[in-house]
Amino acid sequence: AQKVTQAQTEISVVEKEDVTLDCVYETRDTTYYLFWYKQPPSGELVFLIRRNSFDEQNEISGRYSWNFQKSTSSFNFTITASQVVDSAVYFCALSEAPGGSEKLVFGKGTKLTVNP
Amino acid sequence: DAMVIQNPRYQVTQFGKPVTLSCSQTLNHNVMYWYQQKSSQAPKLLFHYYDKDFNNEADTPDNFQSRRPNTSFCFLDIRSPGLGDAAMYLCATSRGRGQFFGPGTRLTVL
């Protein structure tokens, strides 16, 4: 069975600090996809990144970076120089490969608060 | 530019009064999903359509039904809302590159 664990329930930082959100996953599939979504207080789930299981390259997008390590089944998300607008709940998720239903298995989310 | 649209954004209904939430998409994605998200919890998948094929999650109550009359639209019907059905309802679509979510409909049951 697939499972995603986000051990950090809440994190609070001061603006400009770097922060890393942890995500550990379990799956028996050899092909799968990992995602991060941001959910601000407005409620919409905003897609941040999709990574397939064969691509272990780290990715950087502005202040955001992701570290995918199959050896530890982790897909961690780092925000550099955090800003108040980064305050949100962040969900890590896992899905089977395309061709099927692509159902997402979500972690429980990490609530990030960035204080001015 | 809107890709996944949900109407209304806020819905208030009375205990036991049927309610329908709607979702439309401009992405031409073949899969559409409905999630329920309660406060401080992760989204929970209720069901999804793979093209016209309806797929119910095993633990989705019978009180929840769905219709997909065409590729673009999908509806969530709650036949007799209870207080425990108050939640955010999220619609999502996909076509092989991950799911894209609408803004959600927040349902209040009085």
Q: Tell me: the pLDDT tens digits for A39-49?
A: 998 888 999 99
Write down the pLDDT at residue A98: 59
* Distance from C-alpha of A112 to C-alpha of A96, rounded to nearest angstrom: 27
* Chain A residues with beta carbon closer than 8 angstroms to that of B92: 45
Cβ-based contacts of B5 with chain A (< 8 Å)? none
State phi, psi for B18 to the nearest 5 degrees: -55, 145
> Is some CB atom of chain B closer than 8 A to the CB atom of A33?
yes
Please provide the distance, in angstroms rounded to a whole number, between the alpha carbons at the two ends of chain B. 34
Tell whether B92 is within 8 A of chain A (Cβ).
Answer: yes
Residue of chain B minimizing CA distance to A99: B96
Residue A97 pLDDT > 80: no
Contact B45 A47 (CB under 8 A): no
